[in-house]
Amino acid sequence: MNKENTRILKGDICYSTDKNTLITVPDGYLICQNGLSAGVFPRLPKQYDGFPIEDYSGKLIVPGLVDLHIHAPQYAFRGFKMDLELLDWLNSSAFPEEARYEDTEYAKKAYTIFVQDLRKSVNTRACLFATLHLPATKILMELLEQSGLETFVGKVNMDRNCPGYLREATGDVSADTTIAWLEETAGIYSHVRPILTPRFIPACSDRLMERLNQIQKEWRLPIQSHLSENPEEISWVQKLAPQSRFYGDAYKRFGLFGGDVPTIMAHCVHCPPEEIRLMKEQGVYIAHCPQSNTNLTSGVAPVRLFLDQDMNVGLGSDIAGGTVLSIFRSMAEAIQVSKLRARLVDDRLKPITMEEAFFMGTKGGGSFFGKVGSFEEGYEIDAIVLDESRIPHPQELTVKERLERFLYLSGDDWILHKYVKGRRLF
Ligand code: GUN
Ligand code: FE
């Protein structure tokens, strides 16, 4: 241990160890060595006497937040046409906007705004959808690399049931463009990794899915997509894939649903019991996106069921189904919609607690990236120092009370400092 590869952060520290346990250490010390946590201590251990300390006394320090599902090209039109359901919203809003990314000048402009905001936000990691365009996807990756955030980025695959202006001509064209994208970006980036991204079953032909299965095996890539988001979408999948027993089975048939393939499925609002069983068996990650599910009238995912079975669950902003980058906001909304669900749909599913929401937005989603989202020993240090200056309070609050208030009251960029994998971004 030496001073060069050690950082010590001092402040009011808060992190999850499991979904029910929030550790708070007021006025504590977070020790970081070679980018990894060496633990959190209420007093500075003797061996660090004389080491420099980054002193954030009186400020909250928590793990960086993880967005498991976000559409980068949709950032520019968040807040538009929020009175539509999924399929009408895609056709009238998402698809026309994504088509603009054919133009690399537009892509540069729009992705620069997006990445600047993401960099300033409380999130340190994200799994992103780009568009089907290869040059624009490379621009996004380049900007993200420069931002210092840790991300997975997917060039989107879509070769059917989409307007001609935003559709790849055939499954082979889509797959070959994906291979070209992987080859052209291989080994270039330290902080951006590729992820296979079939948009959803309605937009992907069987031929395309077969090819993606081969590409997955060759390149050993994770995958991300959408699952059981909206009733109309689900009936459409039943018609398009009559041999599949349920929506998730349509991915599983092509070897793209967990098991050896790290998989994120966004939404999972209307999963039948067999689908939930398969997700659990296969270790599929669920990206719960409460704000999007509200805006697009999708419904409320039964997150209590997922958590109680120790399934892999994280949170997603689903920009621009959701409008807010901050995963703190998704935590608050996960709690809020779970209460509505309990009252209006099924009171056997108890509302999500604050501990569970915080866990999902940090360690829960973070585990997709490895040992990420906590300050336990050996975890990669993503840390944010929060700015509470806009919400002064007349009483002394506990660390947990301050954190809880932050979930509900804070904006995207109420942050003073940000560390990713032990590196200080600002
Ligand atoms: N399903 C397929 N594409 C999309 C998308 O862009 N957003 C959401 N919310 N669901 C989708
Ligand atoms: Fe989405």
CA of 404 to the centre of ligand 2 (A): 27
Same domain membership, residue 285 and residue 183: yes
Nearest ligand 1 atom, CA 203: 2
Q: Minimum-distance ligand to the CA of 224? A: 2
Residue 326: is its pLDDT beyond 90? yes
CA of 418 to the centre of ligand 1 (A): 30
pLDDT score of 113: 98
CA of 197 to the centre of ligand 2 (A): 11
Contact predicate 8/56, CB 8 Å: no
Residues 254, 183 share a domain: yes
Residue 46 burial by Cβ neighbours in a 10 Å radius (0-12, 13-18, 19+)? exposed
Pairing between β-strand 156-157 and β-strand 150-154 as defined by DSSP bridges: unpaired
Predicted local confidence at residue 1, as pLDDT: 72
Query: What is the rounded CA–CA span in Å between residue 421 and residue 426?
Result: 13
* Kind and range of the H or E run holding 236: helix 231-240
Q: In the 8-state DSSP scheme, what is residue 372?
A: B
Q: Please report the beta strands in 251-316, taking only residues with DSSP state E, as ranges in sequence order.
A: 263-267, 285-288, 312-315
| Ligand 1 close to Cβ of residue 69 (< 6 A) | no
* Residue 298 DSSP one-character state: -
pTM of the model: 0.98
- Tell me the best of 68, 129, 226 to mutate to test the pocket of ligand 1, counting ligand atoms within 8 Å of each CB and taking the most: 226
Considering the domain architecture, whether residues 94 and 158 belong to the same structural domain is answered as yes
Altogether, the residues listed in the chain come to a count of 426
Residue 112 above 80 pLDDT? yes
- Closest-lying ligand to the alpha carbon of 161? 1
Closest CA to 122 of 361, 395, 321: 361
CB 98 less than 6 A from any atom of ligand 1: no
- Using CA atoms, how far residue 97 sits from 76, 104, 292, 342, in Å, is 8, 13, 17, 36
b/e burial code for range 300-328 (CB count within 10 A of at least 16 → b) = bbbbbbbbeeebbbbbbbbbbbbbbbbbb
One domain, residues 44 and 86: no
Examine the domain organization and report whether 114 and 236 are in the same domain. Answer: yes
Domain boundary among 324, 348, 369: 369
Q: What protein residues have CB closer than 5 angstroms to ion ligand 2?
A: 266, 318
CB 94 less than 6 A from any atom of ligand 1: yes
Of 330, 352, 369, which closes a domain? 369
Counting the structural domains of the chain, the total is 2
Pick from 337, 369, 401: which residue ends a domain? 369
Residues 363 and 384 in one domain: no
Residues 99 and 211 in one domain: yes
Distance 200 CA to ligand 1 centre (A): 8
Question: DSSP secondary-structure letter at 356?
Answer: H
Atom number of ligand 1 nearest to Cα 74:
6
Mean pLDDT of 208-220: 98
User: Do 153 and 125 meet the contact criterion of CB atoms below 8 Å apart?
Assistant: no
Per the prediction, the chain carries an average pLDDT of 98
Cα–Cα distances (Å) from 190 to 146, 253, 284, 418, in that order, read 10, 33, 25, 18
| Residue 29's CATH number | 2.30.40.10
What percent of the chain is modeled with pLDDT above 70? 100
* Atom 8, ligand 1: residue with shortest CA distance: 321
Ligand nearest to the CA of 266: 2
User: pLDDT-derived band of residue 347, with 50, 70 and 90 as boundaries?
Assistant: very high
Whether 362 and 385 share a structural domain:
no
Order of all β-strands in the sheet with 150-154:
65-71, 123-129, 150-154, 192-194
**202 CB near ligand 1 (under 6 Å):** no
Are 347 and 418 in a shared domain? no
Domain of residue 127 covers 65-369
Task: Quick: pLDDT tens for 251-274.
Answer: 999 999 999 999 999 999 999 999
User: In what helix (H) or strand (E) does residue 116 lie, and over which residues does it extend?
Assistant: helix 104-120
User: Do 89 and 53 belong to one domain?
Assistant: no
Q: Is 158 close to ligand 1, i.e. is its CB under 6 Å away?
A: no
Nearest to 200 by CA among 361, 74, 71: 71
Question: 154: CA distance to ligand 2 center in Å?
Answer: 12
- My answer on whether 76 and 86 are in the same domain is yes
CATH code of the domain in which 152 resides = 3.20.20.140
DSSP-derived letter for residue 352 is P
Which ligand is in closest contact with the Cα of 73?
1
Pocket test for ligand 1, best of 199, 201, 296, 297 (most atoms within 8 A of CB): 199
Average pLDDT for 144-163: 98
Say if residue 355 is in the same domain as residue 404: no
Nearest ligand (C-alpha, residue 296): 1
Name, in order, each residue with C-beta under 8 angstroms of 330's C-beta and a sequence gap of 6 or more.
67, 288, 289, 290, 291, 315, 316, 317, 322, 324, 361
- Long-range (24+ apart) CB contacts under 8 A made by 187-191 are 188/141, 188/145, 189/141, 189/145, 190/145, 191/144, 191/145, 191/147, 191/148, 191/149, 191/150, 191/151, 191/420
